[in-house]
Structure 1
Amino acid sequence: MIAILLFLAVIFLIAGWWLSRQGLMSKPWLETGATGLAPGREAVNLPASKVGLGVFLAVVGALFALFISAYFMRMELPDWRTLPMPRILWLNTGTLVLNSIALHFAVLAARKGNLRALRQDLLAGGAAALLFLIGQGLAWDQIAAMGYFAASNPASNFFYLITGVHALHIAGGLIALARTSHRAWTRDNPERVTTSTELCTAYWHFMLAIWLVILALLAGWLNEFADICRQLLV
């Protein structure tokens, strides 16, 4: 339970930080000035797409929090057999980190109007995401080769479930990334391209954060951290 609360706290902190960056946390009724704005501030016109993304990421975070909660409760039963960690998961993590780095540079290029760099960064991000999905498929094959199938025991069931749902969100992110790349190649409205790139990058950063939590869960680090927290609170 402690680990779940900590995970939700991190999600809410990330969401709050992101919304404050978008200006959604501003209080216009407290701002003064000739035009109703505080000195040196501009009116906030937050696109509905950014609000929608924030709500969607909050829902996704809550979904994975429920998975983690169920994981911790189920692992307390005697029929739980911990799975070995395929080494390729570490390589997959590296490719997802490269994806986030590439998309971060894509945002910088979009804001500067550098289409060439933007296209290159979007391609690099998409390639890293595809490698991640391929690597996840190989990890599932390795786990199955060890004799751990979905119905073998609860631990393997949770492994396929959690990593599979995450992979589905990665596949969905690839569709959004493809749409953003199409806009960059067709020389769409620069403002739309920039907004699309920012939204896409925020989504992929969030998917990386979720994956790091999943990795810590599967490796047992999250459970050890929860035990330390319990000892400190006793």
Structure 2
Amino acid sequence: MSLTVAYAALATGIIVWIVLVTRFRAKPWEKQVAATPEGGAFPFSPKRVGLWVFLAVITSLFCLFVSAYYMRMGQHAGHGMPGGGVGDWAAIRDPSILWFNTVLLILGSVAMQWARSAVARGQAEQTRVCLFAAGLLTIAFLIGQWLAWRELRYSELFSPANPAVAFFYVLTAVHGLHLLGGLVVWARTLVRSLRKDVELIDVRLSVELTTVYWHYLLLVWLGLFAVLLST
């Protein structure tokens, strides 16, 4: 039953993410900027506002998942349960490849920051190289996560009835889905930077916002990894 609930939570998170993305395409914050009186300048780019709103929603989503994780683990320990804990939770050994994956994501974030610095200095070639490297490292991270899922799947600790296993897949999958969404924006930005009819300044904002998103997902992963290691 607990495994079903965990997978249902994942499905709910995906549905919420799709609904939010659909609503964000309408860009209601741009309407707010358009309605701002000429005398009162709006200090932020609409795209920046949209990104920060989206990050706030993602933060709430991950906080809910982590809260559910600790609550479910607390039930196993018998915390707050008059009848004792639920004995189906069994701690798992996190796949060792997660450490290597973490290094890849850190390097990807660093490369993205270099791309941001390069585009600010007007260095087109270095911007493209750093963007490409950041995306390649992120794709390698996702491949590593898939290998971690396989490692856990074929380990002696794997059990479909173990909620710890279900939560491991849920937390890493939700994070991976957000990285995949970021890779779509990254690919569009990289393609635009390669076009001869597009000036470097035209992709500067996209590079900056993509960098913020990469740094954010790195921090989210470090938090999730710490949670998994500590439990």
Whether TM exceeds 0.5 here: the answer is yes
Kindly provide the amino acid, as one letter, of the partner of residue 155 in structure 2. Answer: M
1:81 equivalent in alignment to 2:90: yes
1:70 equivalent in alignment to 2:68: yes
Deviation at 1:152, TM superposition (A): 2.9
The equivalent residue for 2:210 is 200
Q: Is this contact kept in 2: 1:92–1:136, CA < 8 A?
A: yes
**1:134-166 residue CA offsets vs partner (Å, 9 max, x unmatched):** 000000000001145572301000000010111
Aligned with 1:79: secondary structure? coil
The equivalent residue for 1:139 is 148
Unaligned runs of 5+ residues in structure 1 are 1-35, 38-42, 224-234
1:161 equivalent in alignment to 2:159: no
Residue-pair matches, total:
181
Deviation at 1:210, TM superposition (A): 0.2
What pairs up with 1:177-188 in 2 under 5 angstroms? Answer: 177-187=186-196, 188=198
Q: Is this contact kept in 2: 1:109–1:115, CA < 8 A?
A: yes
Q: Is this contact kept in 2: 1:149–1:157, CA < 8 A?
A: no
Q: Is this contact kept in 1: 2:124–2:200, CA < 8 A?
A: no
What pairs up with 1:213-228 in 2 under 5 angstroms? Answer: 213-220=223-230
Q: Is this contact kept in 1: 2:107–2:134, CA < 8 A?
A: yes
Kindly provide the amino acid, as one letter, of the partner of residue 56 in structure 2. Answer: A
Deviation at 1:46, TM superposition (A): 2.0
Match of 2:106 among 97, 101, 108: 97
Kindly provide the amino acid, as one letter, of the partner of residue 92 in structure 2. Answer: L
The equivalent residue for 1:3 is none
The equivalent residue for 1:7 is none
The equivalent residue for 2:127 is 118
- Distance of 1:214 and 1:128 partners within structure 2: 19
**1:88-125 residue CA offsets vs partner (Å, 9 max, x unmatched):** 00000000000000000000100111000000000100
The equivalent residue for 1:58 is 56
**1:18-45 residue CA offsets vs partner (Å, 9 max, x unmatched):** xxxxxxxxxxxxxxxxxx99xxxxx764
What pairs up with 1:17-56 in 2 under 5 angstroms? Answer: 45-56=43-54
TM-score using structure 2 length: 0.74
Deviation at 1:198, TM superposition (A): 0.3
Unaligned runs of 5+ residues in structure 2 are 1-38, 77-86
- Distance of 1:162 and 1:176 partners within structure 2: 22
**1:24-74 residue CA offsets vs partner (Å, 9 max, x unmatched):** xxxxxxxxxxxx99xxxxx76422111000000011011000011000010
- Distance of 2:68 and 2:173 partners within structure 1: 16
Aligned with 2:161: secondary structure? coil
1:129 equivalent in alignment to 2:138: yes
- Percent identity among equivalent residues? 44
Kindly provide the amino acid, as one letter, of the partner of residue 219 in structure 2. Answer: A
Kindly provide the amino acid, as one letter, of the partner of residue 219 in structure 1. Answer: L
Q: Is this contact kept in 2: 1:150–1:157, CA < 8 A?
A: no
